[in-house]
Copies of this chain bind each other. A is one copy, B any other.
Amino acid sequence: MLDTPHTTSPETADASSDALTLYGHAFSSRLLLGTARYPSPDVLTQAVKASGAGIVTTSLRREQAGRDGSRFFDLLSALDVAMLPNTAGCRNVREAVATAHMARELFDTSWIKLELIANDDTLQPDVFQLVEAARILVADGFEVFPYTTDDLSVAERLIEAGCEVLMPWGAPIGTGRGLANPYALRTMRNYFPDVPLIIDAGIGRPSHAMQAMELGYDAIMLNTAVALADAPVDMARAFAMAIDAGRLAARAGMMDERDMAVPSTPVAGTPFFEFDGG
């Protein structure tokens, strides 16, 4: 068992001047892509490539007798990306902890995307069990990526528990609504200037992802918006471009909003202008 994400060519943290660094591993792409709900394995493969993602999320599910369990793993291994297994579907701490351990063995990684779901309507995290499970898993040597909310008091507990990355939701999983509360997410960004923050869930359009990057978020995790697009591969590329552009814009210092109009074309020298109103 390795304590690094499984990828055949891990970048180092200084490989790039603007790398995303997560638990000591650097990535040039700031998109994390889910691997579920694609029309076919082939489309998934192409979408991952088109997205440029350095990290993909995975799960574990019950295996049928007689299988050797490696088909999906081999598919992803060929893509040369880090795998981030999740605990999707877990409803209590014990399930989440056991699932994380099984994932560590299956995916040869100490990374775990920790999901502890509170209810079916929103699939929001149960923030109490989330923190408890994070504490246990950090103590067990995991590097935890907690799926959380924009709640600062929860975020602080997760950081205290040892999480070096936070994954607040934009909106409920699969809704595609974008950032339901941009004000709270902006506050969160300002409150934790040095913690890698990844928007996870709720992204429906590339402009949603870009808006989050413009707010200063470090990366975007998404799945449904690509997998259920009419053309998933093109959509993967559109998201990749949107996220890169959003990062670039956030660092290039965007203009401030104004209430009143101001001409772009210079006023001085306008022909026909005279003091009597011309």
Contacts and interface: CB of A to CB of B under 8 A. Distances in A.
Interface in A174-224: 174-177, 180-181, 183-184, 187, 190-191, 204-207, 210-211, 214, 223-224
Interface string A134-168: 00000000000000010111101100000000000
Contact of A124 (B153, B205, B258): B153
Interface string A38-72: 00000000000000000000011110000000000
A258 B201 CA distance: 13
Contacts of A60: 271
Contacts of A125: 153
Contacts of A174: 258, 261-264
Contacts of A171: 183
Contact of A252 (B90, B95, B227, B235): B235
A42 to B, nearest CB: 17
B245 A245 contact: yes
Given A172-B261, A204-B257, 20 more contacts: A34-B264, A59-B265, A119-B152, A121-B260, A122-B191, A123-B261, A124-B152, A128-B128, A128-B157, A172-B260, A174-B258, A181-B181, A206-B214, A206-B249, A223-B264, A230-B252, A232-B252, A234-B251, A238-B248, A241-B242
